[in-house]
Structures are given as structure tokens and as C-alpha cells.
Structure 1
Amino acid sequence: MTRKTDVLIIGAGQAGLAMSHCLTGQGIEHVVLDRGAVGQRWRAERWASLHLLTPNWMTRLPGWQYRGPDPEGFMHKDEVVGMLNRYSRSFAAPIREFSAVESLCRTTDGFRVTTQAETWIARSVVVATGACDRPAVPAFAGGVARDITQVTPGDYVHPGQLEQGGVLVVGASATGIQLAEEIHLSGRPVTLAAGAHARLPRRYRGRDVLDWLDRCGVLSEARNPSVPNHRALTQPSLQLIGSTPARDLDLMTLARLGITITGRVDGIGGNTVRISDSLPADMLAAEDRRIRTLARIDDHIHSTGATAPVSADAAPLTMPVSASLRAIDLRAAGIRTILWATGYRRSYPWLQLPVFDPSGEILQSGGITPCPGLYTLGLPFMRRRNSTFIDGVGQDAIEITTEIARHLDITCRAVA
């Protein structure tokens, strides 16, 4: 059966639902398709203990914001699923769950989108499948000895599923440091291979650090058009953890727990892991980033006259004793598992349009692709620093709605 609509949104996570709310507010006919249920990745591709990195009060979407009893807490991933379901019901989002897209191509009428059950013709399409699509496992992972188990954050649920023995966690952004700590506390020896990262305190001068970054405009800062896509898509997430009580988590914290910290992995052959000498430079760069970010917060406090206590000085940066390690023999070290916390890449095997760069990412500028009527939403730093945040995707959706209305030759109503 072939159906028609003005706009098709692919993905029913926070990005797709924010887009649906904005189109609903403008009276623009649309349908949301998802390969699974609402918030599918939160349901099926996140580890059991995960909490948001943003405090609850920052959980804001168009027409909705957190008003619960714990604004400074951090929502568990299952609570996020419940929130997204309530949000979608609040404006009767036209969602078709378990409707995986099999192909998307151009037609004289706009776009043809085919699922297993039906075909849609739409004048415009928004790809809102998110930033965390496929784990970005390096090609040299194929050289790992066969008796070593390899997992990604999409596979990992809890430490009990891992082989007995040591674990090498590769990657030191928010995911890597959280999983390294959790696995270590389960009693398994952990080695963390760290590359570029961004270290910040959880709280600073009496507030959550993201509260200050929100107040001084860092999170909503517009992307510099000169920043190439590949840099925007590979920026490391902040080394933070959402926990109550709030606490810091960084490489020095993990080293004090007894986790072995090394530089980034350069390659693997069988049981031998080659380690870069980059750790000191990466830690110094992260420290410089931290100092500059906190100085910006201090300038904001000074310029606005905000009341804020002076924070205690941070512990001095110390290099882990294992920083000089250049190779690991996995068998000799008792390491039985490698967990690749090396970020994500996007994959669109169903998108049959010439809109890709050489790495397979969709060519877009602020969500506008070279193909008229085709848009993206929810990609890293797409329009702003917080374009992938639940709290940031809404403003991008509002602006993409204006672009869609222009494409459809519809006049948009003013949005509060």
C-alpha cells in the first residue's frame, strides 16, 4: 500500500519527537517512522546502570520540561524511555513503530520511503536517527586474537556478562570512564587506553558545571561554519557521570582506584596491543581545555554579578605511572575482553541519494542537505554545541521546521 504525507521523520527518539512536536504546532502533516519502539536505542542499546549526564532540570523538549521532585538528579535511561513515551502522547505524535526503513529515493513527487509493510510518498524527509548509530570500532580490531572477546557499548549491559579475567577499555570519553569504573568495581582488573578527552568537575562554584555552561551560553553556542564536519562529529564527550551525590570522574580518579591508564591504542596484532606515547600530551590538552572553560565561567560570574562561592583548587594534574607503557601482551596481562568505547559513526544503507561525503556521513550544513527537501536532526554540533543533547535538539527542530515550511511553501506561525 502506498500512502502520502507532507513530511516523513525517520527516528522516534528525542530528535524525531521534537521535530514532530514542532510540525504539529505548525499544522504540517507528517508521520514518524521507527525501526523499533519510541526511544528504541535507550531501550536496547544502553547499559543497565546508565544515567543522563545532564541534570534533570535540563531535560527540556519543545512544549515539555522536567517538573519532578529531583531537578538536580540525573535521569536513568529507563526513565528517559518513559519520558519520551509520555511526551509523544502529550501531542498525539503520529508514530508508526516497528517500521524499519528499507529504502529512501527521490521521485517526481518528492521522496519514496519503503518499509517492510508499506510505501510512503513525502514531499520532505527528516533523518533523525541520531548520533549514536554504529559503534566506531577501528579496523585493526580485526587483528585481535580469536580467543579475546570484543564488545561495544551497544552490546554491553553489565559486568556479569563479560568473560572472567581482565578487561581493556579503549576510549576515555564519558562512556569509557564510566564503564571502566563499573567493571573495575565488579572485581575485574581494568586497563583504560585513553586518547583525546575533555575533563571538567561535576560541580563548580556552587552549581552543576553544565548549569554554568548553560547560563554563559557555551552549550547553545552556534557552530562556526569553518569547522569541518569530520571534526564536529568526532569531538570527545565530557568526562562526567550522572550520579547522586554528584562526584567527579576522570583519569586521575580511575588511577587512584587502581585502574591502569595508558595512551591510545595504535594497533593490535594477535595478543599484542601497541600503545601510543600520546597520553601526557592528551592529558595536558584536556587540562588546558578545563582551565579555559572554567575561566569562561568565572568571567560570566564576574560580568553578571552572580553570587557564587569560590571553589577549592582542583587536585594538581598527575600522570599515571603507566603512561610510559608502549605495549600490552593481552595473554600475559590476563586480559580476556576488549571493550571498544571509541565513539560512533552513522550508517544509512537505505538512503539512496548522492548526499554522502567520502566517510559515509550525510553532507549537511545546519541540517540542510544538498538534496532539496531532505534534512537531518540530532547530529553532533549540527547547529550548536548542544545539538545532540535532549536539551538542545529542540531549538534545532524549530529552525528546521522553518526550513521545511519554506520548502513546502507554507507560512510558519510564530513560535514562543
Structure 2
Amino acid sequence: MQLTDGAHLPVVVVGGGQAGLATSRHLVAQGLDHLVLEADRVAGEWRNRRWDSFCLVTPNWQCRLPAFPYDGPDPDGFMVRDEIVAYLEAYSRSYDVPLVEGVRATRLEAGYRIATSAGTVTADQVVVATGPYQRPRIPRLAERIDVPQLHSSQYKNPGQLPPGEVVVVGTGQSGCQIAEDLHLAGRTVHLVTGSAPRVARFYRGLDVVAWLDRMGYYRKGIDEFDDAEAVRFRVNHYVTGRDGGRDIDLRKFALEGMRLYGRLVDADQATLRFAADLKENLDHADAVSEGIKDTIDAYIAAQRIEAPEEPRYHPVWEPADPSETLSLQGIGAIIWSTGFRRDDSWIHVPVFDGRGYPTHRRGVTSVPGLYFIGLPWQHTWGSGRFGGVADDAQYVVERIVEQRAGVHWIAGKHRTVA
């Protein structure tokens, strides 16, 4: 499909990933004319910003896009990158999606006028579905380091890196999985830890995700938490779906030769310097994992569920005298697994808070007709994922329909417009 310069549409969706496609599917079901703008191709983020061995950390059965749940042969498995791309491509072919690929939205003004790389369109309502992974976040101290560097979004495989040892900075999901990828390939890895928690893959006979799903955790709305803002910006627990799924135990990696460090605090051309908090970081990650097990145990007991007993985790390694410096001599590359920033600089509508985060309730902003979809913890844990984006998309489309009928939603309340 092509964009027609000067066209006007009831709804324009910016972003053709899982969030934008889910929204489009609900709009089609409502019979609403719309356009989906995608700067790359369907699944471009998964195709271009994930490494070769990447796989989901949630089981395939949690892939529940509207009218297109996973129906493959391995519901308890974890799709690898190319399978995820194929799943989204198949979804885009499963209904008559009005998709324009290779067209980037460059400016959104109140009104709504949308300038793009292929012309300008206007709309009555706009849904921003551009995802959270837009601008790689790399600390400024990287400028002092004279070693080849790349962001985790640029990493593909161990063979792409220069010879030598590798430093991975960050122990969120990407950092831990990339460190494991390099470790399994026989590279010497220096992993710089942070405050990210971990979670067990399996416990008492089930994937931990399955237990949490049974317990209703993934249906719990952000407004049910006492610390909603803190929850929204938490780092994800690290675990992996690789080879059928397993824990990521950094202590076990240390026994096998991976070098672990505390938080990175300073650097120059010759040396990295770390905080003396390695033990604290490892203990915190383990405590979170064991706390989740406590919650599962309590649920099993309360529901009188027959489930096999399982011994608890015991640390297999302790940092005796953690290094607080690392010479960069012999280091072939540094991988920054330090996350992303949103880039909403193209949006010229006053809906952002002091941090630049879009203010909304369940994706509905205070400016009538502007919505967001696919934000982490937009409403539930699954909002930015395959597991919960369908519910958010349905909610947003219901509000779109209501506004077209003369009902405006502001801060969670609605009023009828005469």
C-alpha cells in the first residue's frame, strides 16, 4: 500500500510492530478506516535489533495477538528471532491491514497533521505505537574509552567482534543473555553487574511464568500497585528461553571463568573502575528470585495444589575479593547493554511530563484524539509484550469509537460532548 499525500483519515497508527498491528486489527473489526505507518518493515525491530541467538523469555503460549494466538507445535517453548519475525509477518497477512512500509513519521502536530518521509496526511485521531526501544542509551564516559564499542542493539554474534576479551556492561535481560552467548562461544567475558533482579525459569513443576499467570499477576493493573511509578520503570528480571529455557545464574558463570564486577562508576583510556557492590547486586538478584518462589509456595498451599517439592537455590559462588578496576589492555570490545530512551521529539503535542514520558491512563492522553500503545506497563506487565498488548489495543480502540460518537475520555473519566 502507498501513502497518498494530502489524504485525510479517521485514524492513523504510527508504528507497524505488534502494538500497531494489534490496534489495526481491532480497528478493522470496528470497520474504521485507518492507515498504519511503519518506518521499516513489519517486525523491523525484531529483525534489526536482536542478535542471532535471541529468543523470547516468555513461553510461546503467551503470544496472544488479537485473533491470532500462537498455534505452533511448541506452546511451552520460546520462539527464536526468525520465528518471531515470521509470526508477525504472518499476522500482517492474516487480515486486510492498511499498512504502508518504509515511511517514517517525522512530525506530529495538534490537529492532527502528520508529516512523513513520503508526504503529509491528516487524521481525526492518532495512535502512537512506536515502541520503547528507540534511542540507544550509552553513558557519556564511553567517550573516554579507546576500545571498539557497540550497543546491545548492534550485537549479532561473537564472530562479529574483534579478537580479545569482551566487556559487557549491564545485567538486564539483554546484557545477561549476550554475556551467555559470548561465554558459550568460548570468549572471555567481563560482566559489569547492576541492580537488575533475576527469576527462576522453572519451579515446582511449571514455568514460573505459568505460575504467575495462574496467580493473576499479568492481569494486575498498574493502578493497583502502591508504587505505580516505580513499577513502571523497573528493570526486567533476567532469565532465558534458550535451549528450552533455563535460569541465568551469574555465580555459575563465575565458576566457569566469567569475571564479574560491580557497577561501572568511572573510566579512562586505560582502565574501568567499579563500585564495591558486586556481592550486593548478586544477593539482591537472588533475593528477588527466592521471593517469587515464596509467593508461589503460598499460592500452592492456599489453593491446595499438588505440586512437586523443590529444593531452594543455594549460591554456588561468592565474590571473595571483587576487583574494583579492569585494565583495558587485551579487551577487544565493549558491549553497552544499558537500555534505550524513547524518542518522541517528533511529537509536537503537549502530553509529556517533566521526564519526557507521555502522560496517559491506559494509553489515553489528556489531549482528545491522541493515544499511545505498547508502552511498558501501560496498564499491565504484558502491555509492551505479546501477552497483553491485545487488551490494551482493544481498550484504546473502544475509546476511539467512543470519541467518534461524541464521548471524550480525560484522566480516566468521560464526558459527552454535545
The TM-score, its normalising length taken from structure 2, stands at 0.91
Q: Is the 8 A contact 1:144 1:270 kept in 2?
A: yes
Shift of 1:237: 1.7
Aligned match of 2:131: 130
1:250 matched to 2:227? The reply is no
1:53 matched to 2:53? The reply is no
Shift of 1:241: 0.8
Aligned match of 2:365: 369
Aligned match of 2:120: 119
1:216 matched to 2:237? The reply is no
2:68, 2:102 → 1: CA distance? 25
Aligned match of 1:299: 298
Give 2:51's aligned amino acid.
W
Which one of 6, 9, 14 corresponds to residue 10 of structure 1? 14
Which one of 328, 335, 339 corresponds to residue 343 of structure 1? 339
Q: Is the 8 A contact 1:347 1:360 kept in 2?
A: no
Shift of 1:410: 6.8
Aligned match of 2:263: 264
Q: Is the 8 A contact 1:233 1:379 kept in 2?
A: no
Q: Is the 8 A contact 1:177 1:250 kept in 2?
A: no
Aligned match of 1:72: 76
Shift of 1:282: 2.3
**Cα 1:306/1:91, change in 2 over 3 Å:** farther
Q: Deviations over 1:267-324 (max 9, x none)?
A: 22222212012222222222222222111112222222333111232233643346x2
**Cα 1:28/1:227, change in 2 over 3 Å:** farther
Shift of 1:157: 0.7
Mapping 1:373-384, distance limit 5 Å:
373-384=369-380
1:154, 1:56 → 2: CA distance? 23
Aligned match of 2:308: 309
**Cα 1:240/1:363, change in 2 over 3 Å:** same
2:320, 2:63 → 1: CA distance? 39
Q: Deviations over 1:322-381 (max 9, x none)?
A: 6x22122212xx112110111121112321223333433323333222322111111111
1:232, 1:127 → 2: CA distance? 22
Aligned match of 1:414: none
2:336, 2:232 → 1: CA distance? 18
Classify the secondary structure of the residue corresponding to 1:6. Answer: strand
**Cα 1:407/1:232, change in 2 over 3 Å:** farther
2:256, 2:152 → 1: CA distance? 22
2:323, 2:306 → 1: CA distance? 46
1:396, 1:216 → 2: CA distance? 20
Q: Is the 8 A contact 1:151 1:339 kept in 2?
A: yes
Q: Is the 8 A contact 1:73 1:243 kept in 2?
A: no
Give 1:220's aligned amino acid.
R
Aligned match of 1:281: 280
Q: Is the 8 A contact 1:6 1:124 kept in 2?
A: yes
1:226, 1:209 → 2: CA distance? 24
Give 1:290's aligned amino acid.
S
Classify the secondary structure of the residue corresponding to 1:292. Answer: helix
Q: Deviations over 1:131-157 (max 9, x none)?
A: 222222122222222xx0111121111
2:244, 2:196 → 1: CA distance? 23
Q: Is the 8 A contact 2:132 2:340 kept in 1?
A: yes
User: What count of residue pairs does the alignment treat as equivalent?
Assistant: 402
1:364, 1:254 → 2: CA distance? 42
**Cα 1:41/1:117, change in 2 over 3 Å:** same
Aligned match of 2:88: 84
Q: Is the 8 A contact 1:232 1:380 kept in 2?
A: no
1:268, 1:94 → 2: CA distance? 49
Aligned match of 1:191: 190
Q: Is the 8 A contact 2:39 2:101 kept in 1?
A: yes
Mapping 1:92-171, distance limit 5 Å:
92-107=96-111, 111-145=112-146, 148-171=147-170
1:228, 1:336 → 2: CA distance? 41
Identity of aligned pairs, percent? 37
1:246, 1:312 → 2: CA distance? 19
Does 40-49 or 296-305 show the bigger shift?
A: 296-305
The TM-score, its normalising length taken from structure 1, stands at 0.92
Classify the secondary structure of the residue corresponding to 1:302. Answer: helix
Q: CA RMSD of the aligned region, Å? A: 1.8
Give 1:114's aligned amino acid.
A
**Cα 1:319/1:407, change in 2 over 3 Å:** farther
Classify the secondary structure of the residue corresponding to 2:347. Answer: coil
1:28 matched to 2:32? The reply is yes
2:179, 2:236 → 1: CA distance? 15
Aligned match of 1:330: 328
1:406, 1:232 → 2: CA distance? 30
Shift of 1:226: 5.7
**Cα 1:41/1:29, change in 2 over 3 Å:** same
